[in-house]
Amino acid sequence: MPTSVMVGYDGSPAAAAAITAAAALFPDAHAWVAHMWAPTSGSQRLRRRLRARAHSADDLIRLLEREGQREADTIAGSGVALAAAAEWVAEPLVTRVTESPGLRLAQLAQKLDTDVIVIGDRGLGHSKAVVGSVSDMVVHYATVPVLVVPNPLLSDEFAALTNGPVIIGYDGREGAETAVETARRLLPNRRVLLVVVSDGNDDVSIGPAATGLEVLTLRESHRFGTPRDHAIADALIACADDHDAAVVVVGSRGRSAMREVLLGSVAMAAVQRSHRPVLVAHP
């Protein structure tokens, strides 16, 4: 049965690149190309033209609704064309939103029982990443795995998508076991490497989902001022580069945005810092 994918598509180069990259990871998938729109989300040029044409505030609202829907349909259609060119069977899903687009995307994926959400990251560095971005909200609130594709991917990083190994951050806990199960289900027939990042005092037991897989143990670096979750994420990312990995897989500890911010998260650090796609698995 083909993988069911939901792609968050906004017409940006990052979103287009995410479709191309995800098609290499999940060939022959069925894709919902989801575009979230609001009357205020149209282009600036469109809004200027409509303000000049409207005879009243009510007339402006009507025009924004009509033209916003048309623009949204066009954007979603372009995403479907890209997905079809990548040999996916794709359908548009255009949704008018008043809440966070990321939250709505997570809700739609759960409702349609998709296997994975795919979103493109617009290249925000870790120093600029903020809670509230679409990718951040999707990762926090989704109940299905989320693939975040950074933009741009270099040539060797893109080439690795086809048959490169899968790196899984592993600590023996429930989230790590879920990450293994998710990787085996979505990325079968790939070489899988469990990566344990240890400070020398950790005693990691291999759970049932990970039994029989290759295990690499890396020493955690201790750079002054670097949070531990960032150090672990950096070790996973460096390992992925060393092994020319297709994707890094990490488990999430939960869906509370504020709790993740306060406690820190290897999953979020990996998403924000990796130059290769990161698949976040939810327990």
CATH number, position 195? 3.40.50.620
Q: Which residue has the higher pLDDT, 60 or 11?
A: 11
Residue 251 contacts residue 207 (beta carbons within 8 Å) = no
Same domain, 129 and 187: no
What number is the average pLDDT over the span 113-120? 96
Same domain, 116 and 234: no
Residue 173 contacts residue 281 (beta carbons within 8 Å) = no
Same domain, 73 and 204: no
Name the amino acid, one letter, at 118.
V
Residue 148 contacts residue 277 (beta carbons within 8 Å) = yes
Same domain, 94 and 231: no
Name the amino acid, one letter, at 175.
G
Same domain, 17 and 116: yes
Same domain, 117 and 221: no
pLDDT score of 131 = 39
**180 is in which domain, residue-wise?**
155-281
Same domain, 128 and 207: no
* Cβ contacts of 34 within 8 Å, gap of 6 or more: 6, 7, 8, 9, 76, 93, 94, 95, 105, 108
Last residue of one domain, picked from the residues 149, 176, 208:
149
Same domain, 168 and 257: yes
DSSP bridge partners of 36: 95
DSSP bridge partners of 5: 31, 116
Last residue of one domain, picked from the residues 91, 114, 149:
149
Same domain, 171 and 105: no
**pLDDT higher than threshold 80 for residue 222:** no
Both structure tokens of 110: 């759960």
Angle value at C-alpha 201, between 265 and 171, nearest 5 degrees: 40
pLDDT score of 122 = 59
**pLDDT higher than threshold 80 for residue 201:** no
DSSP-based three-state secondary structure for 259? helix
Same domain, 141 and 203: no
Instruction: Provide the number of structural domains found in the chain.
Output: 2
pLDDT score of 50 = 85
Same domain, 172 and 136: no
Both structure tokens of 107: 């809700």
Last residue of one domain, picked from the residues 122, 149, 176:
149
Quick one: DSSP state of residue 188? T
Measured CA to CA, the distance from residue 216 to residue 203 in angstroms comes to 14
Same domain, 45 and 140: yes
Taking all residues of the chain, what is their mean pLDDT, rounded to a whole number?
A: 86
Both structure tokens of 60: 């402006």
pTM of the model: 0.88
Residue pLDDT, tens place only, 128-170: 343 347 888 898 889 999 999 999 999 999 999 999 999 999 9
Q: Which residue has the higher pLDDT, 42 or 79?
A: 79
Both structure tokens of 148: 């975040």
